Amino acid sequence: MNINITSAWNLLKSQIEACRKCDLCRTRNNIVIGDGPVEHCKCIIIGEAPGEEEDLSGKPFVGPAGKLLTKILMNGAGIDRKTLYITNAVKCRPPGNDNPTNKQLIACNDFLEAQLLLLQPSIIVTLGNVPTKWLLKTSTGISSLRGKWQKWRGLDLLPMFHPSYLLRQSGEAEKRVKQMTWDDVKALKAKLDELNKLN
């Protein structure tokens, strides 16, 4: 990362940390900015919003959904999550883990856009309906979009199921959505391998 990007990144972090643009600033314990390499970032994973453990620790995807995400990446495709940048569409926890509202998504959008601009990833992965619909400005649901490569301002974007959704399934449904997610993470790995060959 060159010096200008480093200072721009640090400035962005301090702006996010001072944010009081929506009500979530009153109930949050920590803002969860994101985690991962900022230099030569190939891929960014975008979740919905921090949950309880994320709010307490200030780190993204460290609770049950995060543990499953880590396993999906590693056991499904040999991807170490530390090699990707992981963040959320909304940086503060909605109390009770409610879905973020449009107001909250709008308030946080400049931060997400700035992160994307500075990281310049080649691949975006959106987890579940919230970030997928938000970035793609679509009303089509995740069940139709998952596993199908999309474009976001010229970048490749892969929608996948949210790991919390997988955790809510059981029996045959669980098997089915896990298989789909396994397929999707392998498609992600293939795209990452393709990129690595080019560089």
Residues that bind ligand URA (CB under 6 A): 47-51, 54, 60-61, 63, 65-66, 88, 128-130, 142, 161-162, 164-165
Pick the closer one to ligand URA by CB: 23 or 35. 35
CB 189 → ligand URA: shortest distance, Å?
A: 19
Separation of alpha carbons 159 and 145, rounded Å: 6
Nearer to ligand URA, 149 or 193 (CB): 149
Q: CB 39 → ligand URA: shortest distance, Å?
A: 22
- We find the least distance from the C-beta atom of residue 161 to ligand URA, in angstroms, to be 4
Closest contact distance (angstroms) between CB of 30 and ligand URA is: 11
- Which CB atom, from 5 or from 169, has the smaller least distance to ligand URA? 169
Query: Where are any strands of DSSP class E within the chain?
Result: 43-47, 85-88, 123-127, 150-152, 155-160
Report the candidate in 153, 133, 145, 155 with the shortest Cα–Cα distance to residue 184.
145
1 vs 67 by CB, closer to ligand URA: 67
User: What b/e readout covers 9-48, taking b as 16+ CB neighbours within 10 angstroms?
Assistant: beebbeebeebebbebeeebebbbbbbbebeebbbbbbbb
